[in-house]
Structure 1
Amino acid sequence: MSRNRLDNFFFGPRRGNHGKDETVVFPTRQIVNTTTNEQTIRKIHPTHITNVNKNIKRIENYYPVTESTHNEYIVEEYDCGRDIKNPCCRPVKRCKW
């Protein structure tokens, strides 16, 4: 295609246009990029039993705190048994409250 024909294709013929240019603005295209990060957290729950004789003194402390955050998380919890070197992980089913 010649240079003149390309100009006519993109910009319209320039001869006889007489200042009647037209501008077309299209709607803004919205793009949402989502990043997913996966993290493995090992929770080790060792058990030690100590028998204690208690004398109770009740002290009440209050620490009011307000905070607001919006995060979206997916938590997958697994029971991997006793052996850290040879885990046998299976999903933990929790009740929905």
Structure 2
Amino acid sequence: MNEQRKSKKFQSYINSINNRLTSMNKGSKTLLRIASIALLAGILFAAFLLVSTQAGLKLFENQLQMVEWVIIYIFRVWGLLVCGALILDYLKGGQDS
């Protein structure tokens, strides 16, 4: 019984998040898409560097350290873009009419 209550509570949180995301304005949704694309591109670049390091290709000096910095900075950029999208949505007041 307790498991059903917890799953319903979790489902209500997910529904609430989904409703808020669908009611965001156009600019905020675009900014979230840009953040997702930037995160994916950074992670793919870091994965490429890791695979090339394992394969023995030395494309850059200190390649492993470069992977660390790419991961750190891409998450910082992603966080800034997501926070910016949320702030923009709050300031514009939801979905445009």
TM-score range, shorter chain: under 0.3
User: Larger radius of gyration, structure 1 or 2?
Assistant: 1
TM-score, with length taken from structure 1: 0.18
Higher strand share: 1
Higher relative contact order (CA 8 A, sep 6+): 2
TM-score, with length taken from structure 2: 0.18
